[in-house]
Structure 1
Amino acid sequence: MKRVLIFLIFSIASSLVIAQDWPDWRGAKRDAVWNESGILNEFESDTIPIKWSVTIGPGYSGPTVANGKVYVSDRIEKPVQQERVLCFDEKNGAKLWEFAYDCEYFGVGYPAGPRASVVIRDGKVYSLGTMGHLFCFDAASGEVVWKKNLNTAYEIVMPIWGIAATPLLVDDKIIVHVSGSNNACIVAFNKNTGKEIWRNLEDRAGYSAPLLIEKNGKQVVVNWTEHSLSGLNPENGEVYWRFPWKTGSGMSIATPVLANDHIFVSAFYSGSILVKLGDDYTSAEKVWQRSGESERKTDALHCVMNTPVILGKYIYGVDSYGELRCLDFFTGDRIWEDQTAVKRNRWANIHFIQHNDKIWMFNEQGELLITELSPEGFTEISRAKLIEPTKKQLPRGVTWSHPAFANKHVFIRNDNKLICADLSEN
């Protein structure tokens, strides 16, 4: 009997390790780390077989996966302009529920559709639309629990490309980059009722999702807006530290990266900055900041949508025209550059996902790559087409949404469809 119990405990523990949902932007911890075992080591052909595919409208928001369901948001323009939140069965793509609301886009560039990923926690679903519509749904039924029109409530100072940062759940709060007037750039709401808890910063929001970091019992929310990089107390909004930095065209897009007790961010026009955090992350000091002459004559790293990955003493990211670069972590000096991971184009993008000792890459051409990154260079192990680029987001045809990696599958969308593919080893 004792042996049977030990076996059962081991089996349950093993299943917890190999199965993983993707309930938030860039995964559960917003760090794009994928921990599942039993994943293939290379692709069998140059095209990845699709398990299921469903028709959706256009949008930039990446899918999220939790408790057997896949969530994504999109936009339709006829007969009226609407944004939608969609829920599908993870196994077969069957639509479980849909919620649509009227949403006319005005004063927003690149109007393909919603930007922020749907976030799932404790049986509830949270979505944020391009014009500032914030919803909390029951995850199973799609019933609205509460909602807010942030543009009406906070007089949004609208970023050029709309509201984009995926809201952050911290304990009983949902922290949102509202870009509101009257010290309401960042607002915390009660996640169960929608009641405001605190607000802070007079900045205009960028497009970068906030990040929760923690050390020695202190929690800090890292926010990168059009005007600053800051660390706030999630309980009351108090500013622990702040570095003023107005990014060109407000292109604060990539998610801040935590590594080695440092925070790193990088912008298309404005270059990169590395700050060192104090013992409990409630203080910070600048280590280095570098930028080039222009978007073509760049220095260190000028990312667009790509969030860099930091491995040991090196930073890896994609520069303004698709140049995959390796930097020295402590100085920003360039170690190498490679132009084979994605075709050279303005704003060319790759999403990095860490899986054990490999780096998976999803590029804007709809290709999935299994690679290794080191200070010695870029090594491509395998590459295959996952989904076709579409032209609603950008006329040349791109796939800019971030994929979700859950339960040995990958989920990704373009402007026409949401697909699922099996990545388990045979």
Structure 2
Amino acid sequence: MKILPVLILLFAFVGSVVAQDWPDWRGTNRDAIWKSENIIEKFESDTIAIKWRVPINPGYSGPTVANGKVYLSDRIEKPVSQERVLCFDETSGKMLWEFTYDCEYSGIGYPAGPRASVVIHENRAYALGSMGNLFCFDAEKGSVIWEKNLNKAYEINMPIWGIASTPLIVKNKLIVHVSGNNNAGIVAFDKNTGNEIWRNLNDRAGYSAPILIEKNGKQVVVNWTEHSLSGLNPETGEVYWRFPWQTGSGMSIATPVLSDDHIFVSAFYSGSLLIKLGNDYTTAEKVWQREGESERKTDALHCVMNTPIILGKYIYGVDSYGELRCLDFNTGDRIWEDQTAVKRARWANIHFVQHQENIWMFNEQGELLITQLSPKGFNEISRAFLIAPTRKQLGRGVCWSHPAFANQHIFIRNDNELVCASLKK
């Protein structure tokens, strides 16, 4: 009679190890680490079988997955311009709820649709649109708990490609790159009420999502805007450290990467920057910064949307025309370059996700690759086609949205559909 509770606990533990939601931008900790077990080691054919697919409208927003549901945002252009927040059943793809609101795009280039991922936290869903419409929903029902028109409230200094940075939750706060006037570059809201708690920086927002780092009891929010890389106190907004750096065309897009008490960022026109953090992350100093002559004659690494990955003492990332590169962590010197992971093109993109010793890559041609990276070179284990590129995001046909890797499945969208495929062994 005493065995049953032990078995229940064992099954619960095993289930928690095998299953993993993807409730935020780049996963639970925004670090693109996928921990699900019993995953395939190579593809059986050159095309991945689709478990379910549902029609959607255009947008760049990558899906998120939590508590049996998949969340996404998209855009309707006619008869009036609107943005939508959508919720689907994770198992079947059935739409569970949708919320639509009028949203006329003004002054936004590449107007395919919303950029930021929907963040799920404590049964609430937080969605941010391209013009600065911020919502908090009941994640189960889709009812609005609170909403804010950030453009109206803060007079947004609109980035060229709209508001794109996925908000960050820290304790009771929702930290948003508002890009507002009057020192409202970054604003912290009460996640339960929407009331402002603090604001700081006159920076115009880039497109990079903030991350939370912590050491020796100190938490720091790392923000990469059009004008600087900074570390702020999440409780007060106080600036701990700040490196002024105006990126070309505001192309601060990739997420900052934390590795071995360092932060690394890279931009299309402006090259790369590595900083070293102090003992409690409230201080920082520049290690190296490198920039090439042009977008074609690059130095070190000039990323676009790709967020690099750091393994040991090496940095791996995708350069301005799709060149997969390996850099020496300490200097930025190039170790090798490979042109086979994605077709060469301006802004060619790959999203990296780490699963155990393998790096999964989703390239803009809609292909999923299982690979390994080392200073010796790029090792492609397996590659298969997953979803068709579409032309609404870019004329040549791309799929730029970030996939969600959740519960032994992958969820990815283009401008026409959201699909789910099993990656279970």
Q: TM-score, normalised by structure 2?
A: 0.99
Offset at residue 265 of structure 1 (A): 0.2
Offset at residue 6 of structure 1 (A): 3.1
Cα distance in 1 for partners of 2:424, 2:123 equals: 28
Cα distance in 2 for partners of 1:138, 1:3 equals: 39
Q: Please give the secondary structure, in 2, of the residue aligned with 1:310.
A: strand
Q: 1:333 aligns to what?
A: 333
Q: 2:201 aligns to what?
A: 201
Q: 2:34 aligns to what?
A: 34
Amino acid at match of 2:224: W
Matched ranges for 1:199-348 at <5 A: 199-348=199-348
Cα distance in 1 for partners of 2:175, 2:313 equals: 31
Q: Please give the secondary structure, in 2, of the residue aligned with 1:7.
A: helix
Offset at residue 2 of structure 1 (A): 4.1
Q: 1:182 aligns to what?
A: 182
Q: 2:46 aligns to what?
A: 46
Amino acid at match of 2:136: C
- For 1:66-110, what per-residue CA distance to the aligned partner results, in whole angstroms no more than 9, with x for missing partners? 000000000011110000000000000100000000000010100
Q: 2:361 aligns to what?
A: 361
Amino acid at match of 1:208: S
Does residue 84 of structure 2 align to residue 78 of structure 1?
no
Cα distance in 1 for partners of 2:383, 2:117 equals: 26
Offset at residue 299 of structure 1 (A): 0.4
Cα distance in 2 for partners of 1:415, 1:77 equals: 13
- For 1:253-285, what per-residue CA distance to the aligned partner results, in whole angstroms no more than 9, with x for missing partners? 000000001000000000000000011111100
Cα distance in 2 for partners of 1:299, 1:188 equals: 36
Amino acid at match of 1:17: V
Cα distance in 1 for partners of 2:199, 2:8 equals: 48
Cα distance in 2 for partners of 1:13, 1:78 equals: 49
What percent of counterpart residues are identical? 78
Amino acid at match of 1:414: N
Q: 2:148 aligns to what?
A: 148
Q: 1:17 aligns to what?
A: 17
Cα distance in 1 for partners of 2:40, 2:137 equals: 35
Cα distance in 2 for partners of 1:280, 1:12 equals: 36
Does residue 122 of structure 2 align to residue 122 of structure 1?
yes
Cα distance in 1 for partners of 2:314, 2:143 equals: 46
Q: Please give the secondary structure, in 1, of the residue aligned with 2:381.
A: strand
Q: 1:399 aligns to what?
A: 399
Q: 2:409 aligns to what?
A: 409
Q: 2:388 aligns to what?
A: 388
5+ residue gaps in structure 1?
none
Amino acid at match of 1:220: V
Q: 1:106 aligns to what?
A: 106
Q: Please give the secondary structure, in 1, of the residue aligned with 2:288.
A: strand
The number of aligned residues is: 425
Q: Please give the secondary structure, in 2, of the residue aligned with 1:11.
A: helix
Cα distance in 2 for partners of 1:164, 1:69 equals: 23
- For 1:138-168, what per-residue CA distance to the aligned partner results, in whole angstroms no more than 9, with x for missing partners? 0111000000000000000000000000000
- For 1:277-335, what per-residue CA distance to the aligned partner results, in whole angstroms no more than 9, with x for missing partners? 01111110000000100000000000000000000100000000000000001110000
- For 1:238-260, what per-residue CA distance to the aligned partner results, in whole angstroms no more than 9, with x for missing partners? 00000000000000000000000
- For 1:191-246, what per-residue CA distance to the aligned partner results, in whole angstroms no more than 9, with x for missing partners? 00000000000111100000000111111000000000000000010000000000
Cα distance in 2 for partners of 1:309, 1:143 equals: 38
Cα distance in 2 for partners of 1:330, 1:61 equals: 34
Does residue 141 of structure 2 align to residue 136 of structure 1?
no
Amino acid at match of 2:186: I
* Off by >4 Å, runs of 4+ in structure 1: none
Q: Please give the secondary structure, in 1, of the residue aligned with 2:5.
A: helix
5+ residue gaps in structure 2?
none
Cα distance in 2 for partners of 1:109, 1:340 equals: 30
Offset at residue 366 of structure 1 (A): 0.2
Cα distance in 2 for partners of 1:109, 1:265 equals: 24
Cα distance in 1 for partners of 2:72, 2:167 equals: 15
Cα distance in 2 for partners of 1:13, 1:420 equals: 25
Q: 1:372 aligns to what?
A: 372
Offset at residue 12 of structure 1 (A): 1.2
Cα distance in 1 for partners of 2:7, 2:111 equals: 54
Cα distance in 1 for partners of 2:107, 2:139 equals: 32
Amino acid at match of 1:191: K
- For 1:354-379, what per-residue CA distance to the aligned partner results, in whole angstroms no more than 9, with x for missing partners? 00000000000000000000000000
Offset at residue 130 of structure 1 (A): 0.3
